[in-house]
Each structure stands twice: as C-alpha cells, then as structure tokens.
Amino acid sequence: MGTVVILVVLVIIVVFAVRSGIKHGKGEGGCCGGGSSVKEEKKVLTGDIIATKIVSIEGMHCENCKNSIEHQINRIDGASCEVNLKKKTAVIKLDKPVDDDTIRRSIERLDFKVLDIKNA
C-alpha cells in the first residue's frame, strides 16, 4: 500500500513538472523571475537617433527575460532598447555612439548569448 501512495505522489509531481516545462518552452508563465515582473517605462532618448542596431539573442523565454535585457541596455547612456521575444531580437536606438562590444557585454552579463549585431 505504501508503494502505491509513493508512486501516485511521484506521478503527480511528474505531471506538474511536464506542464511547467511545456509552458516554459512556449514562453508562457515565469521562468526567470517567478512569473511576476514590473514593467518599466520606455526610455525616451533626448537627442537625434544616430544609429539603430538589431541584436539577435539566444536564451530569452519570457517577459522577465525581455524586461531584464531592456533594463540592462537602457542603463547605457545614449541607448534605448525594445525586445521582441518571438523574433528573439532587440532593437537598440542610439543617440550617442555606443560600440557593439558594450552592447554584447551588457546582454551576455545576464547569461544570454548574443548571436549577431547588425546596423539597421
């Protein structure tokens, strides 16, 4: 009888783990921050836009991933970022010169992988 109870408990745990994994793979639910996040105001650049970069990023899964990258890039003076989770890209507008290495290091510091940085 005890074996049956343990087996039932293990099956329930596996079912919940699989459901959570499926949601995570679809970008639903929380993966990096427990499912809740605070949306920050969009950063508005004060100067004329001198460049736009499109960054391909690997490892983003949810709104928390998106928000953490946007927050990190928006901390750079002269940079404003919008992330598209479905396309796995970030569009970064610059009103001051910012080199690609600064952008790459800022994103990879968060444990994401920058695949490519292109000028738009």
Query: Which residue from 116, 57, 52, 115 is spatially nearest to 85, judged by alpha carbons?
Result: 57
Sheet with 113-119, strands from edge to edge, namely: 79-84, 89-94, 51-58, 113-119
* pLDDT score, position 15: 84
pLDDT at 21 over 80: no
CA-CA distance, 23 to 87, in Å (whole number)?
18
Q: What global pTM score does this model have?
A: 0.71
- CATH number of the domain at 51-119, please? 3.30.70.100
pLDDT, position 1: 79
Q: Which of 10-14, 48-52, 68-72, 114-118 has the lowest mean pLDDT?
A: 10-14
Q: What is the pLDDT of residue 26?
A: 56
Q: What is the pLDDT of residue 2?
A: 78
Secondary structure letter of residue 107 according to DSSP = H
pLDDT tens profile 34-63? 555 556 678 889 999 999 999 999 999 999
In angstroms, rounded to a whole number, what is the distance separating the alpha carbons of residues 80 and 111?
20
Q: Please give the pLDDT value at position 38.
A: 56
3-state secondary structure of 58: strand
Q: Which of 75, 70, 72, 96 is nearest to 85 (CA)?
A: 70
Task: Parse the chain into domains and list their residue ranges.
Answer: 1-30, 51-119
| The predicted structure's pLDDT at residue 106 | 97
49 half-sphere exposure, CB direction, 13 A CA radius: 11
Phi-psi region of 74 (alpha: psi -120 to 50; beta: other; left: phi over 0): alpha
Kindly report, residue by residue over 64-103, the tens digit of the pLDDT: 999 999 999 999 999 999 999 999 999 999 999 999 999 9
